[in-house]
Amino acid sequence: MDKISLIIPCFNERSGIEGTLDEINFYLGKAIHEIIVVDDGSFDGTHEILKSRKDIKLLRNPYNKGYGYSIKKGILAATGEIIVVTDADTTYPIESVLLMVRKLEEGYDLIIGKRSNLKSFDPSIKKLSRYLLKKIAEFVAGEKIQDVNSGLRVFKRDVVLRYLPNTSSGFSFSLSTTLIFILEGLSVHYFPIEYRQRIGKSKVKYLRDILRSAQILVETITLYNPIKIFMLTSGLISVLGFVVLLIPVFSNLLNSSLGIMGFMILQGIALFTLSLGLIGFLLKKRILNDN
Residue 103: the pLDDT is 94
Residues of the chain with pLDDT under 50: none
Residue 166: the pLDDT is 86
Q: Which amino acid is located at 213 in the chain? A: S
- β-bridge partners, 38: 9, 59
Residue 20: the pLDDT is 93
Distance, in Å, from the CA atom of 44 to the CA atom of 13, rounded to the nearest integer, reads: 8
Written in H, E and C, the secondary structure of 19-60 is HHHHHHHHHCHHHCCEEEEEECCCCCCHHHHHHCCCCCEEEE
Q: Domain locations in the chain?
A: 4-223, 226-290
Nearest to 113 by CA among 89, 135, 140, 94: 94
**Domain 4-223, CATH number (from 3.90.550.10, 3.10.20.600, 3.40.50.2000, 1.25.10.10):** 3.90.550.10
Residue 149: the pLDDT is 83
Residue 204: the pLDDT is 58
Q: What is the pLDDT of residues 130-156, one digit of tens each?
A: 777 778 778 777 788 898 889 999 999
Give the predicted TM-score (pTM) of the model.
0.80
Distances (CA, A) of 101 to 34, 40, 80, 155, 291: 15, 26, 13, 8, 31
